[in-house]
Amino acid sequence: MANKFVLLLLSLCFISSGFSTRPSVVKLGAVFSVNSTIGRVAKVAIDAAVDEINSNSTLLNGTKLLLQMHDSQCNGFTGIVQTIQFMTTDAVAVIGPESSDTAHVISHFANEFHVPFLSFSATDPTLTSIQFPFLVRTTHSDLFQMVAIAQLIDYYQWRNIIVVYTDDDYGRNGIASLGDEFEKIRCQISYKAVLSPGATQTDISNMLVKIALMESRIIIVHANIDFGLKVFSVAHYLQMISNGYVWIATDWLSSFLDSSAPVEMEVMSTLQGVLSLRQHSPKSEKKHNLVSKFREIRKRKSNEVFRINSYGLQAYDTVWLIARALDSFFRDNGTVSFSKDSTQQYFSLDAMTKFDDGQTLLNKIKTTEMDGVTGRIQFDSDGNLINPAYDILNVIGTGFRTVGFWSNASGLSTRPPEKIYTNMTSKSSENHKLHTVIFPGESSTPPRGWVFPNHGKELRIGVPNRVSYKAFVSWDPTTNTVRGYCIDVFSAAIALLPYAVPYKFVLFGDGIRNPNYTDLVYRVSTKEFDAAVGDIAIVKSRTEIVDFTQPYIDSGLIIVAHTRRFKSYAWAFLQPFTVEMWCTTGAFLIFVGTVVWLLEHRVNDDFRGPPKQQFSTLIWFSFSTLFFAHRQNTVGTLGRMVLLIWLFVVLIIQSSYTASLTSILTVRQLFSPITGIHGLIASNDPIGIQVGSFTENYLVQELGIKKSRIKVLPDAIEYTRSLELGPNHGGVAAVVDEHPYLELFLSAHCQFSAIGSDFTKSGWGFAFPKDSPLAVDLSIAILTLSENGDLQRIHDKWLTRAGCSNENKEMDSNQLQLNSFLGLFMLSGMACLLALLIHFYIIMRQFIRHCNPTDSIASRNTITGRSFQDFLSFFDEKEENVKNKSNRMMMQNGESNGGVDDNELSMNR
């Protein structure tokens, strides 16, 4: 029985060990173009990786990799057929395909047969892991490369770009991603030069000739290596690799330069100043060892001279990634088994098998993490390699140099990405910078990025055909030309441009009334006009559809109304103060005089005497303080305090009165019932505006003025007539228009004046279509005109008129209001009331003590039974007499002269 149990146990162990035994050989497939720039490098790198893995006994624990390579011969159909053949060889994974076109087709087979495909060179952004889960991309998606290019374009502030690309999945989808990134930085692709993959040199030449006639000089080439080199060769022949141009090639060019050793001078001469990107791989000992080993293998297996590039490094890491994933797969008891697929009954694909544990191996591949020669190998949740980064290369002389880096963490930088990731300094001051770039033409100055197109087409510039204020812009039928202030500014600015701009003016409007300027701007946005020049206000609604230049004149809205001039008269001296101010001042004079008399009457002989004399003293003292001419002295503490505060108030009032009266009598003042924009809004009077102006929309939509109040006036003559009539006789209360117009209007109409200052801030500019580079260059020219004084000279030529003096520009009344002095009056009044309360409290205590000095303290606090007449008699009595009488009474009652009363008396002195 025991022997049977042992045999059963050994059998179970044998069966168990049989299931966990690793296969001796695992088949892998690889398909790419062996003779292409990427393929020949990848072949050597893949062979090197397989040899290293098979010689490493610790990795797969005895299992060997059996790699079978197929050459797609740069043919999509051949690549597809040869890749499908791996479905019949029980391959657990396939390295490839090389091209994005083939990857799109093959990915459907991979999904069906559960065989992971690992592509080290298919960079099409649309090859997502969601749609194609069994396609694992071991290189960075072109999405990140396009982000890097967009930030490079934005770094130099270029806005219009031309792209050259092949009409395939790789080209189309890459440029689509680039367009998405450009939208984020307000940049646009002005022209897409699309050529078939089999385009001839003649096709390329015709395409580049067309590009040379365009205004943009920023050209991005996104193509395969052979096609891209043809483009640069033809561009060099057409002298387009020259000063003013910027050429940017995607990473196909860096792959060619890295793998070619050395590049022929004839080829290098066509690439001088070109910028290119290269997938970044940090310096490491692993990378150095592979580069050295690559040279040895290349010499041993191939007679060609080439070096490893970034795609070769990724092909090497791809093999190692598969090996590590297989090792984890086998440790988790994964088995290599294949079975027939149920869908094969509909096709003649009997030899094709499905990898049973393909999903498990795929999961292992996507979760494997390792440090490869290209850096950290790890996939994010979207199936992309983490930490995408690129080197930015500048082709110079016989080679190239690195002018900066781009990484997903920091953007553009002069620091290697691995240092940024390690030190977490993504906000370093070195970010968003590049080293000096040598552009085509051996210039280190970044090109402007565009030139005026030289195909001879004139710009159609819309000009408003004004019927009023013709000094700004008008049609001269005598000379058959457009003239005016705005035209001279435009002509002077266009003359400063470093290139010729042919143009012709096209009148806009019927010549009977001023045209609608918003309509003119709209026609620029629809490209009916190439630009609009004239007195065009820069307002929000217009900036949303066109681009404006720098404003060349301020043009805020202002109010003009009929005014009457202040004339001097016999009672002009009363003008500085309002009636309320005069009444309040007079009342306070009497009030303060009365308070001082009350406080000083008992202790100061100047404020005593017969009633008639005391009344005259009070009146004299009250009004004499207004001129600091009072003769009476104050001896009491409370009286002095009240008088001191009041004299300070009088000083302020007197100074203000003097300044206001001087202004009224020396400067001619203008008055208008309109006090400003708020008063105009609050009234119901009609408001005049100029025809064709944006003013109506602003008054109605922004300020809420009823449209029925708006009266459109055609010219300055109607301005004058409507203002003269006034709102009660069919005219208007005021005219609201832009400052330059009204400045010219007022120079010839002195009976009107501007009310206040501009209540909006705006300016006039020239309108161009969105993202037009001419708008930027003309803005710089306008600033130059402003700095050198030419802009002011043009203004003086057209807009300076001898007319009314500047005195009619100030409208505000100089009358001083009570509110301006209310705080001073309150201060004086409070001081008076406080002094009176203290004074009457002291007198009341004396009166109680005087009437009954033997009463208790409680009885002194009441005056029950005391007549009011007795109190008045006591109040009128001199302080000294009251004191003496109190002392005698206290002595008669045996009381000493207490300090309390003395203290009370001293408070009033």
pLDDT in tens, 308-346: 899 999 999 999 999 999 999 999 888 888 887 655 544
Per-residue exposure over 412-425, b if at least 16 CB sit within 10 Å of its own CB, e if not: bbbbbbbebbeeeb
Alpha carbon separation from 317 to 49, 179, 383, 452 (Å, rounded): 8, 31, 16, 49
Mean pLDDT of 241-270: 91
Mean pLDDT to the nearest integer, 21-47:
88
Select the highest-mean-pLDDT range: 172-181, 571-580, 820-829, 868-877: 172-181
- Phi, then psi, of 213 in degrees rounded to 5: -85, -5
Predicted pLDDT of residue 869: 64
How many alpha carbons lie under 13 Å from residue 439 in its C-beta half-sphere? 19
pLDDT at 893: 60
User: Which stretches within 86-200 are classed as H helix?
Assistant: 100-113, 142-155, 169-184
- Note the pLDDT of residue 552: 95
- Percent of the chain scored above 90 by pLDDT? 39
pLDDT of residue 7: 45
Task: Tell me which of 219 and 561 has the higher pLDDT.
Answer: 219
pLDDT of residue 426: 46
pLDDT score of 676 = 80
Could you tell me the pLDDT band of residue 571, with boundaries at 50, 70 and 90? Answer: low
Q: How far is CA 739 from the centre of its chain?
A: 29
Q: How confident is the model at residue 500 (pLDDT cuts 50, 70, 90)?
A: confident
Per-residue pLDDT for 573 more than 60?
yes
Which residues are bridge partners to 559 per DSSP? 736, 755
Burial 572-606 (b: 16+ CB within 10 A, else e): eeebbbbeebeebbeebbebbbbbbbbbbbbbbeb
d(Cα 92, Cα 353) in Å, to the nearest integer?
Answer: 11
Task: Answer with the residue of higher pLDDT: 840 or 6.
Answer: 840
Q: Are 750 and 808 in contact (CB under 8 A)?
A: yes
Question: DSSP letter at 436?
Answer: P
Query: CB pairs under 8 A, 24+ apart, for 606-612?
Result: 606/631, 606/632, 606/633, 607/632, 608/878
pLDDT band at 885 (very low <50, low <70, confident <90, very high): low
pLDDT at 263: 86
The answer to whether residue 898 scores a pLDDT higher than 50 is: no
- Phi, psi of 374, deg, nearest 5: -95, 5
pLDDT given for residue 850 in this prediction: 65
pLDDT, position 903: 43
Mean pLDDT on 752-780: 88
Section 624-628 average pLDDT: 72
- Determine the pLDDT at residue 447: 92
**3-state DSSP helix/strand/coil % of the chain, to nearest 5:** 45, 15, 35
Task: Pull the structure tokens for residue 359.
Answer: 């999903």
What pLDDT shows up at residue 66? 93
User: What was the pLDDT predicted at 897?
Assistant: 43
- How far is residue 46's CA from residue 32's CA, in Å, rounded to a whole number? 11
Highest mean pLDDT among 115-119, 496-500, 568-572, 876-880: 115-119
Predicted confidence band of residue 8 (pLDDT cuts 50, 70, 90):
very low
Q: What is the pLDDT of residues 768-781, one digit of tens each?
A: 998 888 898 899 99
Q: What is the DSSP letter of 67?
A: E
What pLDDT does 902 receive? 45
SS3 50: helix
pLDDT: is 652 or 413 the higher one? 413
Residue 793 reports pLDDT greater than 90: yes
Per-residue pLDDT at 58: 86
Nearest by Cα to 520 from 726, 195, 775, 767: 767
**Is 463 in contact with 506 (CB distance < 8 Å)?**
yes
The more confidently predicted of residues 207 and 801 is 207
Closest residue by Cα to residue 463 from 527, 544, 523, 520 = 520
How does residue 605 score in pLDDT terms, banded at 50, 70 and 90? low
Under a CB-based contact definition with an 8 Å cutoff, are residues 307 and 294 in contact? yes
Angle 484-485-487 from CA coordinates, rounded to 5°: 65
Q: What is the DSSP string of 361-401?
A: HHHHHHH--EEETTEEE-B-TTSPBSS-EEEEEEEETTEEE
Mean pLDDT of 794-821: 65
Question: For residue 905, what are its two tokens?
Answer: 């008396």
* Residue 250 near residue 142 (C-beta atoms within 8 A): yes
Q: In the structure, what pLDDT confidence band is assigned to residue 146 with cuts at 50, 70 and 90?
A: very high
pLDDT score of 821: 77
Q: For the segment 437-481, what is each residue's pLDDT rounded down to a tens digit? A: 999 999 999 998 888 765 557 899 999 999 989 999 999 888 889
832-856 burial, b for 16+ CB within 10 Å, e for fewer? beebbebbeebbbebbbbbeeeeee
Residue 268 confidence (pLDDT): 93
pLDDT at 314: 94
| Residue 876, pLDDT score | 61
Give the separation between CA 740 and CA 154, rounded to whole angstroms: 38
Mean pLDDT of the chain: 82
What element of type H or E holds 308?
A: none
At residue 16 the predicted structure's pLDDT band, cuts being 50, 70 and 90, is: very low
Please state which of the ranges 393-397, 648-652, 704-708 shows the lowest mean pLDDT. 648-652
Q: 850 or 518: which carries more pLDDT confidence?
A: 518
Name 805's Cβ contacts closer than 8 Å, sequence gap at least 6.
Answer: none
354 pLDDT tier (thresholds 50, 70, 90): confident
Residue 517 has pLDDT above 60, yes or no: yes
DSSP one-letter string for 223-282:
S-HHHHHHHHHHHHHTT-SSTT-EEEE-THHHHHHHHBSSPPHHHHTTSTT-EEEEE---
State the amino acid at position 780 in one-letter form. I
Kindly tell me if the per-residue pLDDT of 900 is higher than 60.
no
